[in-house]
Chains A and B, each alone.
Chain A
Amino acid sequence: MSTRASTLAGRVMSAPSIIALFLWMIVPLGMTIYFSFLRYNLLSPGMEEWIGFVNYKFFLTDHAFFASLANTLILVGSVLVMTVIGGILLGLMLDQPIFGRGILRILVISPFFIMPTVNALVWKNLLMNPVSGFFAWISTSLGLQPIDWFTHAPLTAIIIMVAWQWLPFATLILLTALQSLDRDQKEAAQMDGAGPVSIFFYITLPHLSRAITVVILIETIFLLSVFAEIFVTTGGGPGLSTTNIAFLVYTQALLQYDVGGASAGGIVAVILANIVAIFLVRLIGKNLDA
């Protein structure tokens, strides 16, 4: 692609898909922004009128907003910590020449193929159910009081479910990164007198930094909008204890029929996601250079 003609041809040929993608993005965004400035409630059709920033004022001063913002950040942060640390440990284990490694790898990857709603139902009904669940059975077998997860530790329960769902992704990315670590480097460190722990912290972990960055960035994008797990299990409750921003927007739009307010919430969520993205890219994105 060196001549002027070929550069031009390249631009012309990629233009249709770029234009289509741009419209795909800008039309919904534009409509959402437009709706967010309207009084637009499905219960009173035909009464739409321009009200400026009132929807934003209501959304941002609602105590539900701050509760759900906190829940979102706790959820994202906890799941990131659990999946990155768990992913490194599982990756290290699966990188060892252990018996049945092939089957074990498939087993570890499989949660990622299960859709979030099914995942949530399995956890809710088979594992965490306080009467018939597996955890309850363990607790009663040990003579302990079973935990009623979705009543007493609802957010923790959601975090565990989502972490289980995303652990395979982290493991997969980190395992491939581990496999690309030069064996000579480990041996050189061994000759230099580094034990297994030193080798991990001085050689392996720096080698993984780029893969960890990728895991954090990609997971954050998806974890900001966790919805199915909450919808299927707790429905955002008890109270607001498991409502995140995505779920709050949903309740606004489809439970209170307030399209204007939900649109304002959606725009706030977009802005928040962008703040988090800029923050993350500046904080750890430099690992992706070089």
Chain B
Amino acid sequence: MGAIRLENVKKTFGNIDVIPGVDLEINDGEFVVFVGPSGCGKSTLLRLIAGLEDVTAGKILINDVDMVNESPAKRGLSMVFQSYALYPHMTVYNNIAFGLKMAGEPKAVIDEKVRNAAGILNLTDYLERRPGALSGGQRQRVAIGRAIVRNPAAFLFDEPLSNLDASLRVNMRLEITGLHQELKTTMIYVTHDQVEAMTMADKIVVLQAGRVEQVGKPMDLYAKPANKFVAGFIGSPKMNFIEGDYARARNCACVGVRPEHLLLSTEQGEIAATVKIAEHLGAETYLHVNADNIGPMTVRATGEVPLSGNDRVWLTPDPERIHRFDASGNAISN
């Protein structure tokens, strides 16, 4: 069981409101991702939930009990740190067993749980090694193993993949998702990488400057961003924003259209443009173009498109999939 509810949680460092007030509901078994640009307060929010920082005001309810004044250990959560924070002088076995040892569990129980976790994470052959003798991915798994054995109400992940190389990151992403399906424990995952957020989350919380911009399922955020910030942050390559006459003709301050929702033609279309740079990836082609009277835009075309710099193209936004925003950046429903 691990339902977490934040009620008007505030955090100030000196005079700075890092988190001006957050309300959030996290259901039992959910995989929630906090995403936002660096400095948006997502890690601080996670540390507040963990109890590593004191809240300035508000309530943190874990299974309907207010835990604001409890120590981190009493909250029944476990955390995977960005730096892994393994204990360097202990073997992998002792690293994983440490929490159980502190809880005063009998030796036989500890041994069973550690070996069980090591089995799940493919660490059985490395139990007697020290963290220094492990690769990045293995260290990551030890950190996860240390979290699993305590059988927590929820797992907290603080940018756990950012120290891994790109291919390993994809593998670990799948492993963590698989682990969530297996354990069905609540997970809160902090990242600045919207791809991780989109692929792993049941529910994404987009944060900016300590405020929750939007909460929802990945596809809801993609299809119906509440404002320009969310629209620009979710999706890769970034959404194109068109202002000026083009937007005024559509009764809004700004029109947003995703690169994949632009129909590309070499003969005709709504917007004329000149290709600046073409990135050929084989499965898809990214065109960075300069649109007449509008400025730089990005187009994503499937498959190989034989275009290069200075070619003339025409773009037509899919009318069903354009997003309109008012002057303050909020979405106008179509």
Contacts and interface: CB of A to CB of B under 8 A. Distances in A.
Interface residues of A, number: 18
Contact of A192 (B73, B82, B84, B89): B73
A24 B38 CA distance: 59
Interface of B is mostly: loop
B89 to A, nearest CB: 4
Interface stretch (A46-54, A157-165, A200-208, A269-277): A200-208
Interface string A92-135: 00000000000000000000000000000000000000000000
Contact of A189 (B84, B88, B98, B150): B98
B81 A188 contact: yes
A12 interface: no
A192 B72 CA distance: 8
Interface in A66-101: none
B255 to A, nearest CB: 45
Interface in B63-88: 71-73, 77-79, 81-88
A188 to B, nearest CB: 4
Contacts of B79: 187-188, 191
Contacts of B118: none
Interface string B82-106: 1111111110000000110011000
Given A187-B52, A207-B89, A209-B89, A192 B102 contact: yes
A193 interface: yes
Interface of A is mostly: helix
Contacts of B144: none
Interface of A: 182, 184-185, 187-194, 198, 202-203, 206-207, 209, 290
21 contacts: A184-B83, A184-B85, A185-B86, A187-B52, A187-B81, A188-B79, A188-B85, A188-B86, A188-B146, A189-B87, A191-B50, A191-B73, A191-B77, A191-B99, A192-B78, A192-B102, A192-B150, A193-B73, A207-B88, A207-B89, A290-B132
Given A184-B83, A191-B79, A206-B90, 18 more contacts: A182-B85, A184-B84, A185-B86, A185-B87, A187-B72, A187-B81, A187-B85, A188-B81, A188-B86, A189-B87, A190-B72, A190-B73, A191-B77, A191-B78, A194-B102, A206-B87, A206-B89, A290-B132
